[in-house]
Amino acid sequence: MKVSHTLSTYLAVQFLFWLIGVFLIFMAIAMLFDVVEMLRRTADKDDITLGLVLYMSLLKLPFLAQTTLPFMTLFAAMLTFWRLARANEAVVARAAGISAWQFILPAFLITAFLGIVAVTIINPMSAAMLEKFQKLEAEYVKNRTSMIAVSQNGLWLRQLDGGGGYSVIHALRVSPQDLILHQVIIFRFDEGHHFLERIDAPSAILQTGSWLIPEGWHSTPKPETAPVVNLKIPTDLTRTNILESFSSPETMSFWRLPEFIETIEAAGFSGHRHLLHYYALIAYPVLLSSMIFIAASFTLRINRRTGTSAALLGGLSCSFVLYFVTDIVHALGLSASIPILLAAWTPAGVSSLVGLAMLFHLEDG
């Protein structure tokens, strides 16, 4: 039986009403907790005002929204179907010959469309705002002065030297295991941004507290050059904070990720983390839509004579299991214990299969 346009519109409006309501409640709670956490972290920072804390929390809010949207969708769908079932509207629709698949179709189409919009349009804005948040966090909260960037021309690092000056280091490629830079150029400046010297070397080795230049050439603004051997340049960088300073996958737009993955892999670094995030974004609309199946399978059987506690508890349990499974599977993917593609698609695939199986059982017995 074909579902009427009026009924489809009614079901879509009901779902959107609950989805917007759940979204606003989730975002208010997330904003409150994030502001409290930021105030705790910046309690001993005299130069950070309440306005800056609120601004940083707002910058982080779209990322939190995208992360929690599957759970918001699950709760909104459960509330929608619970309300329709308790009012016997679902029973009447089923008695009129409308199947469970037709009944959940409007919510399914909305979430599928929302998932595509979230990945292709909202994600680039969320990534840009999160990148801005991380820069402010590094400057005001972590007091991190070193900056690292990877481009198609190689690796660029900026570090502070003793006495207020700084160095800008360029390398064509890197050996990430022992952090050896290859084909290195180092530009050194004083605190007034005046050029002091340039060092060209085949390699630079990161040691504790310094870069070791085994051999190279030293140039100054004067027209003269001189060879250098075992030159040490002070640094506060370590292998850990260099690897952690690359742009996190969450700050990269969905459209920029493929190019960035190629760039960092060409520079000698692993692109596993970014590749996992890219595949997870592709699977995101499927994950979002699967929440409709799970919600319907738990709540469509509820009516005025049956309790709701078991159904709601089952839905909540599914959300927590999904959260932990996603973390575990992604960790396995990052450690190369399982293929990246499998790690990215497992949460969406398992959620869809479980939801479909439960809904088949509900509909066909």
DSSP output for 74-123 = HHHHHHHHHHHHHTTHHHHHHHTT--HHHHHHHHHHHHHHHHHHIIIIIH
Asked if 178 and 55 sit in the same domain, the reply is no
| Residue 250 maps to a domain | no
Stretch 57-81: mean pLDDT: 92
Position 137 in a domain = yes
* 322 in a structural domain: yes
Same domain, 136 and 272: yes
Is residue 226 assigned to a domain? yes
Is the Cβ–Cβ distance between 34 and 57 less than 8 Å?
yes
- Judge if 132 and 13 occupy the same domain: yes
Question: What one-character DSSP code corresponds to residue 164?
Answer: G
Same domain membership, residue 238 and residue 165: yes
39 strand-pairing partners:
none
Residue 258: inside a domain: no
Backbone φ and ψ of 88, nearest 5°: 65, 10
pLDDT band at 179 (very low <50, low <70, confident <90, very high): confident
pLDDT at 74: 92
**Higher per-residue confidence, 255 vs 305:** 255
Q: Quickly state the pLDDT bin for 268 (edges 50, 70, 90).
A: low
Q: How many domains are there within the chain?
A: 2
Examine the pLDDT at 365 and tell me if it is beyond 60.
no
Same domain? 138 vs 25: yes
Q: Are residues 32 and 129 in the same domain?
A: yes
* pLDDT above 70 (res 246): no
272 and 134 housed in the same domain: yes
Q: How many CA atoms lie within 13 A of 56 on its CB side?
A: 24
**pLDDT band at 333; cut points 50, 70, 90:** confident
Listed residues 211, 244, 277: the one ending a domain: 244
Bridge partners (DSSP) of residue 200 are 185, 217
Domain range for 168: 147-244
In this prediction the pTM is 0.78
SS3 190: coil
Q: How confident is the model at residue 31 (pLDDT cuts 50, 70, 90)?
A: very high
Answer yes or no: is 251 within a domain.
no
220 vs 185: which has the higher pLDDT: 185
Q: How far apart are CA 25 and CA 65, in angstroms?
A: 11
Query: Is 284 within the bounds of a domain?
Result: yes
Q: Clarify whether residues 217 and 176 are in a common domain.
A: yes
Between 91-100, 140-149, 259-268, the lowest mean confidence (pLDDT) is in 140-149
| pLDDT classification of 336: cutoffs 50, 70, 90 | confident
Q: What are phi and psi of 344, to 5 degrees?
A: -75, -35
- Checking if the pLDDT of 1 tops 60, the result is no
Burial 253-275 (b: 16+ CB within 10 A, else e): bbebbeebbebbeebbbebbbbb
| Segment 262-284 mean pLDDT | 82
Assess whether 151 and 134 both reside in one domain.
Answer: no
The predicted pLDDT at position 162 comes to: 67
17, 116: one domain: yes
Tell whether 31 and 133 lie within a shared domain: yes
Predicted local confidence at residue 46, as pLDDT: 76
On whether both 134 and 167 belong to a single domain, the answer is no
